[in-house]
Amino acid sequence: MKKQSDFIKGVYNGIPIALGYIPLAFSFGTLAIKGGYDFWVPTLMSMLSFTGAGQMAGIQMMVQAASLISIFLVNLVINARYLVMSLSMNNKITEKMSVFKRIFISFGMTDENFTIASFYTGKLTFPFFAGLILTSYTGWILGTLVGALLMQLMPAIIQEALSITIYAMFCGLLLPSVKRSKAVAVVTAIAIAISCAFYFIPFLASLPSGINIIVPTVVAAAIGALVFPMPQEEEQTDSIKNEEAKENE
Amino acid sequence: MSDLTYLLLAIAAISIAAFIPRVIPFLLPKGRIKSRFLNSFLNYIPYSVLGAMIFPAIFFATSSLLASIAGTVVAILLAFWEKRLIIVALGSILITAIVLAIV
């Protein structure tokens, strides 16, 4: 066991992530089928995107026939956090790597892979990342495929109840952080208030789909950044991401 | 635009939007964002976007407002007690299904 290759270590670290992804990917697959798509649609999306919340929001907007530009912008906003994670990870990798290898690693920078790699005590080599990312990626795609294929066999009531899955998981990700940080609680409350305004005020509700997510997200995060600026520390993003990713272990 | 064209372009938009924020930092020369505001802003994004995506949409997730509210309450309680994601999801689905079956 001592002479394990870095690739095997990566695979070993990726197995719990893959297991954690299966129910999430499963619910994504079922969501797509509920939206009226064939099984290959969510599977192709999982293969090309590898991003949970972005795909969920994306497929919901596709069902509502939202404009392509709003789908693109919502996903950019949802995925903006990866900028911070990738910046941090790029700084942690000391080994010289080719551009191709860097691009491969960046594709696999999910919340969970980022967290595991950040707290990995060994050397962050390319084979380690390859093992980690390929393992979690496999769980993600298989989970999507199985979810999409099994959906058709489910009773109607269960199918309908599954619509709550994504929101329940979002609650599971969000609430532990809200409990721990007053700043996060305030930012979240502002986002919710604005989001409700976009739903219930007729003029705002008539705006193109996607605006109702982008505006609350950006406004609440900007207010948070002004009122509760974060300390300028190297570990800042890591500790916050860690709180979230813990839930999936 | 045909349905299939829209579908493929939407998938492309989602994939590109997922890839851009991840890949740019890896292609830049090494260094960190200096702006404290920008760092804080990016840090708060996951929370604000989750808040905006959950509410009020969660209340209209199923055809029954009552069932959705029941599922929401259970999800919030389980999440507040920091149960595992899968437990939060399954608990919420179970209660939602039960209320859907009753009403």
Q: How far is B93 from chain A (nearest CA, A)?
A: 5
Q: Identify whether residues B93 and B47 lie together within a single domain.
A: yes
Contact with chain B for residue A207, Cβ under 8 A: no
pLDDT confidence of residue B20? 95
> Which of the residues B23, B32, B36, B43 would you substitute to probe the A interface, choosing the one with the greatest number of A C-beta atoms within 10 Å?
B43
CB interface of B with A, residues 15-44, below 8 Å:
15-28, 30-33, 36-44
Q: CA torsion, points A96, A98, A99, A104, in degrees to nearest 10?
A: -90
Whole-Å CA distances, A166 to A52, B7, B8, B91: 10, 22, 23, 13
Does residue B36 fall inside a structural domain?
A: no
pLDDT confidence of residue B81? 95
Alpha carbon distance B40, A187 (integer Å) = 11
Does residue B73 fall inside a structural domain?
A: yes
pLDDT confidence of residue A241? 47
Q: Identify whether residues B47 and B95 lie together within a single domain.
A: yes
Does residue B37 fall inside a structural domain?
A: no
Tell me if residue A249 falls in helix, strand or coil: coil
Q: Are A186 and A227 in contact (CB under 8 A)?
A: yes
Q: Identify whether residues B57 and B98 lie together within a single domain.
A: yes
* B-chain residue closest to A180, CA distance: B80
Q: Identify whether residues B6 and B47 lie together within a single domain.
A: no
Q: Which domain holds residue B27?
A: 1-31
**A115, HSE (Cβ side, Cα atoms, 13 Å):** 18
Does residue B98 fall inside a structural domain?
A: yes
Low-confidence ranges of chain B (pLDDT < 50): none
Q: Identify whether residues B55 and B92 lie together within a single domain.
A: yes
Q: Identify whether residues B95 and B53 lie together within a single domain.
A: yes
Q: Identify whether residues B68 and B97 lie together within a single domain.
A: yes
pLDDT confidence of residue A243? 46
**String of DSSP letters for A155-171:** -HHHHHHGGGHHHHHHH
Structure tokens at B30: 């090494």
pLDDT confidence of residue B31? 54
pLDDT confidence of residue A161? 86
ipTM of the complex: 0.83
Low-confidence ranges of chain A (pLDDT < 50): 1-2, 235-249
* Residues 6+ positions from B39 with CB-CB distance below 8 Å: A84, A230, A232, A236, A237, B33
pLDDT confidence of residue A41? 93
What is the residue extent of each domain of chain A?
6-161, 165-244
pLDDT confidence of residue A235? 46
CB contact under 8 A, B45 and A81: yes
